[in-house]
Structure 1
Amino acid sequence: MTVLITGARGQVGRAVLRRLHAVGLPVRAASAHPADLTVPAGVETVELALDRPQTLPAALDGVRQVFLYPQPEGIEAFTGAARAAGVEHVVLLSSASVLGPDAETDPLASHSLLVERALLAAGLPSTLLRPDAFASNALGWCHATVHHQPIQLAYPDAHIAPIHPEDIADVAVEALTGTTLRGRALALTGGQSLTFREQIAVLAEVLGREIPVETITRAQAEQQLGRFMPAAAAGSLLALWEAATAGPAPIADTTRTLLARPERTFRQWATENATAFDAHRGASR
């Protein structure tokens, strides 16, 4: 009853794999480049690329559950191969963006929405995890903090409810090993609404030094984000943040409501990852 973990190099995929392996469940880590994977001793690795259908049969052989990262290219080939292999359940790491009114055309949402629809159309029993903003998105501020520069934001007072990636992994493992979450579509958040400015203040307290915030224009922000993503995706993200300045972010399902355990906080995440934001801390370890 092997569980296949796709995206096994990702932060959530790695955490899911570790948890399942720790309790003795057979897991198989998949990647387009399996030689680059770092997995616990005894964990099988396998090549899997959805846009290379020839990799599917071996990856899915003997698999009954899949933890799936969303990749629309090749998803129909995957669903066909999964059904042929006897896969009984897929847990998809989707996105809260699919719940937006323009999800079909939104470049941030459509990626995950296409995968959700393909799974449902194929009749594969699926649990859809739709996390909102990851706490780890704050790693985008590392360059500024390491170089003691201000963090530049177009909408520093946008509210989000950041979720710790380990909380997502906890929910995913419950969906893979239990019955209460199976087959559900779950909008996931952290337990607290924080503005970007408030997150930066938490990070400053953890680091023990001031981190200045500088408000820039939307055009400047688009230019900066355009270095890392397509222009359409940057525009969509900025529109989302602009709308989020209206008030506190809603709190959806959390580990508290789903698993009866407290949510990990943004402060906890910042403390765990402090060395990434401080060159001196990183050098001293």
Structure 2
Amino acid sequence: MTTLVTGATGNTGKHVVAELVRRGERVRALTRDPAAAVGRFPAEVEIAAGTHTQPDSLDAALEGVDRLHITVTAELAEVGPELVRRAVDAGVRRMTVVWGGWVGPVEQAVADSGVEWTRLEPQEFMSNTLTWTESIRTEGVIREPYDFPSALVHEADIGAVAAVALLDDGHAGRAYNLTGPEALTLRERISILSPAIGRDITFVPITREAAVDRLLATGVSRADAEFVIGWYAAPPDDATTVVDTVEQVTGRPARTFTQWVAEHAERFRVPAAP
């Protein structure tokens, strides 16, 4: 059997690929730039050219595929249901979908597809910490409007749960809320990150308006910027409440933020002078 992983070089997709390979599954990795993906996957992974935001171009990528992993993005919202339809027509019989934060058109299309499906509902990704890389490197500072607790989840745990749901029975029709093993405030995250990189890090509060403007400067729409910052201002209970879903599904505890920091600490350090 073959599993097609969309967004295979992304935050979660690469971990889905790694877990499937570890379990001996035949994997086809979908990417816009196959040349750039060479060397990023084990040799046994088949690389397919394409993007899930253009479903009419994916006939070849879907050929012979039994299982499909989808990561919902803003760009996928309009065309995602067509991707799901084409996947079902091509013979896909099991799907996992990483939601976009709510049950939108893609998530609903998967649920209505008539095939076995599992929806993964991760809370804040630990990799969001990487948005601080530049300010930590250059100033030793983190600027955010709120110091809220967040039950951060490691992207590799999302990949591990996806692999189990794709390969093992008993997960059809389930929606899995995914968190890490602890809810950490921003200052608590700093207390873990700072000694790991050998540098003091200062938290500098900014206004909500400044946070929105920062997102607008990256090309995010005002509606999306207001939504994101509003979420941080009043995170839902699911975002701050630890659950043991990762352990229940995979049989091992969720990875900690300390583990994530150990894996990525070098990215926050000032590069050594040549």
Structure-2-length-normalised TM-score: 0.90
Corresponding residue of 1:130 = 121
Closer/same/farther in 2, CA of residues 132 and 195 from structure 1, 3 Å limit = same
Kept in 2: contact 1:131–1:163 (CA 8 A):
yes
Partners of 1:225 and 1:51 in 2: CA distance? 23
Q: Aligned partner of 1:63: which letter?
A: V
Q: CA deviation at 1:53?
A: 3.7
Q: Show the counterpart of 1:197.
A: 187
* CA pair 245-256 structure 1, distance change in 2 beyond 3 A: closer
Q: Is the 8 A contact 2:164 2:249 kept in 1?
A: no
Aligned ranges for residues 241-252 of structure 1 at < 5 Å? 241-244=232-235, 249-252=240-243
Q: Which moved more, 1:260-269 or 1:131-140?
A: 260-269
Which aligned pairs between 1:170-189 and structure 2 lie closer than 5 A?
170-189=160-179
Whichever residue aligns with residue 84 of structure 1, its letter is D
Distance 1:256 1:122, change over 3 A: closer
Q: Which residue of 1 aligns with 2:27?
A: 27
2:156 partner SS: helix
Q: Is the 8 A contact 1:126 1:182 kept in 2?
A: yes
User: In the TM superposition, what whole-angstrom CA distance separates every residue of 1:224-251 from its partner, at most 9, and x where no partner exists?
Assistant: 1222222221211111111149999111
Q: Secondary structure at the match of 1:159?
A: coil
The letter of the residue matching 1:66 is L
Structure 1 CA distance for aligned equivalents of residues 81 and 239 of structure 2: 38
2:166 is the alignment partner of 1:161: no
In structure 2, the residue matched to 1:104 is none
Letter in 1 for 2:79: G
- In the superposition, relative to structure 1, how do residues 53 and 172 fare at CA in structure 2: closer, same or farther (>3 Å)? closer
Normalised by the length of structure 1, the TM-score is: 0.87
**Structure 1, gaps ≥5 residues long:** 99-111
Query: Hey, what's the Cα distance between the residues in 2 that align with 1:265 and 1:179?
Result: 27
- How far did residue 122 of structure 1 move? 2.9
Matches of 1:51 and 1:248, distance apart in 2:
28
Q: Cα–Cα, structure 1 residues 230 and 209, in superposed 2: closer, same or farther, change >3 Å? A: same
Q: Report Cα offsets for 1:252-277 as digits up to 9, x if no partner.
A: 34322332311111111011100111
Q: Percent identity?
A: 34
159-168 or 36-45: which moved more?
A: 36-45
Q: Does 1:224 align with 2:214?
A: yes
Give the equivalent residue in structure 2 for 1:41: 43
Aligned length: 268
- Quick one: distance in 2 between partners of 1:53 and 1:150? 42
Question: 1:201: how far off?
Answer: 1.7
Of 271-280 and 66-75, more deviation after overlay is shown by 66-75
**Worse-matched range after superposition: 30-39 or 220-229:** 30-39
Which structure 2 residue ranges, 5 or more long, are not aligned?
A: none
In the alignment, does 2:134 pair up with 1:139?
Answer: no
Per-residue displacement from partner, 1:101-138 (whole Å, max 9, x unpaired)? xxxxxxxxxxx622101222332321100100001100
Give secondary structure in 1 for the equivalent of 2:252: coil
Cα offset for 1:51?
Answer: 4.1
Could you tell me how far apart the structure 2 residues matched to 1:154 and 1:30 are?
Answer: 37
Q: Post-superposition, which runs of at least 4 consecutive aligned residues in structure 1 deviate over 4 A? A: 245-248
Match of 2:91 in 1: 86
Shift of 1:202: 1.1
SS at match of 1:92: strand
Structure 1 residue 164 displacement after superposition: 0.6
* Cα deviation, residue 170, structure 1: 1.0
Amino acid at match of 1:180: G
